[in-house]
Amino acid sequence: MLHLAVRDDDDGDFGEAVLAGLAQPQKTIPARFFYDTIGSELFEKITALPEYYPTRTEVGILTANGAAVAAAVGPGRAVIEFGSGSSAKTPLLLRTVAASAYVPIDISAEFLDMAAADLARKLPELPVFPLAADFTRPLKLPAGIVGRPKLGFFPGSTLGNLAPAAAIDLLRAFSDTLGEGSWLVIGLDLRKDSATLEAAYNDAAGVTAAFNLNLLHRINRELDGTIDVADFAHWAPFNADLGRIEMHLRAVRDTSFTVLGTPIMMAAGETIHTENSYKWTLDEARLLARAAGWDPVDAWTDDAARFALHLWRRDDGAIEP
């Protein structure tokens, strides 16, 4: 299961963030609030949709190129996953690189427990050291993996949900957490034609729309919201200038509601911006790596060049001839 960098279960923070976001000229709600229980279930469904190619494409790339990753990084590394993996990708990588230990890091202890239990079934011999923490900040890794060479894993193009400057900050935090001599395997969605991209975020079954609209239901459930959800529609265009899919909730008519007692008015056509999903070309991804202190060593894509799996090595300042 892959989620945004930070999942936030704190109602206080949710209320503050929603009120602050709805007070902006371009209304906004941070994407991390998608992932309550219902939102997490909807996201799992998204990853299996025919239009949503990233998940299965990334698994295919990892399957086809795992041996090359293993040859580059060598066997016996401790794999540190940013986000708790319960998908097929994690055991695939762990087996391919003959990992000596696994550290899933997630802010939610519940997701960590699920991931650890899942792995214990699939790879019973592998030592697992779950770490319940916010991985957007540099972290002290568990004592059980001290001295082992490290390989970070950040699949699913989760980095794409951050604006470039924040993405660089996060990649720097990974570098600090993993330390000298570490490597990183990171999946990033590739920039491509807008029809393919827009289909992936506007699926025919309406699951992505339900995922987006769940934010409004969540406000009603948790923040005494009085939103008529039927007044809103899911809208997810590709913004070619900024290289990102944007998700919005668009008012289909003039509407007004309250959140925690605060009145909000929206005109027909006005939107609440709920997510960005940046799409990086191979060259842009290399620049991103370098800006954050990583050396882009290799990258693999699927045949249709939809998605890329990147292999980066921490730039430890070695001087090249």
Q: Closest residue to ligand AVI, Cβ-based? A: 277
The smaller minimum CB distance to ligand AVI, of residues 3 and 77, is found at 3
- Footprint on residues 258-317 left by ligand AVI (CB under 6 A): 275, 277
Token digits of residue 150? 């490290």
Q: Are 199 and 208 in contact (CB under 8 A)?
A: no
174 contributes a contact to ligand AVI by CB under 6 A: no
Confirm or reject binding of residue 106 to ligand AVI (CB under 6 A): no
46 is a site residue for ligand AVI (CB under 6 A): yes
**Nearest CA-CA partner of 144 in 157, 156, 128, 158:** 128
Nearest to 98 by CA among 69, 120, 118, 119: 69
Applying CB under 6 A, does 157 fall inside the site for ligand AVI? yes
For residues 92 and 69, is the Cβ–Cβ distance under 8 A? no
- Please report whether residue 158 would count as binding ligand AVI according to CB under 6 A: yes
55 belongs to the binding site for ligand AVI (CB under 6 A): no
63-102 binders of ligand AVI (CB under 6 A): none
Q: List 243's β-bridge partners, or say none.
A: none
Near ligand AVI by CB under 6 A, which window of 80-88, 109-117, 151-159, 253-261? 151-159
State how far the Cα of 218 lies from the Cα of 211, in Å rounded to an integer: 11
Nearer to ligand AVI by Cβ, of 1 and 141: the residue is: 1
Q: Where are the alpha helices (DSSP H) in 123-203?
A: 164-178, 194-200
- Show the tokens assigned to 74: 């060598």
**Within 208-237, which residues bind ligand AVI (CB under 6 A)?**
208
Whether the CB-CB separation of 102 and 86 falls below 8 Å is answered with no
For ligand AVI, which stretch binds (CB under 6 A), given 59-67, 76-84, 152-160, 296-304?
Answer: 152-160
Options 39, 149, 152, 156; binder of ligand AVI; rule CB under 6 A: 156
Planar angle of CA 308, 313, 317, nearest 5 degrees:
140
Q: Which residues bind ligand AVI (CB under 6 A)?
A: 2, 4, 46, 156-158, 160-161, 201, 208, 275, 277
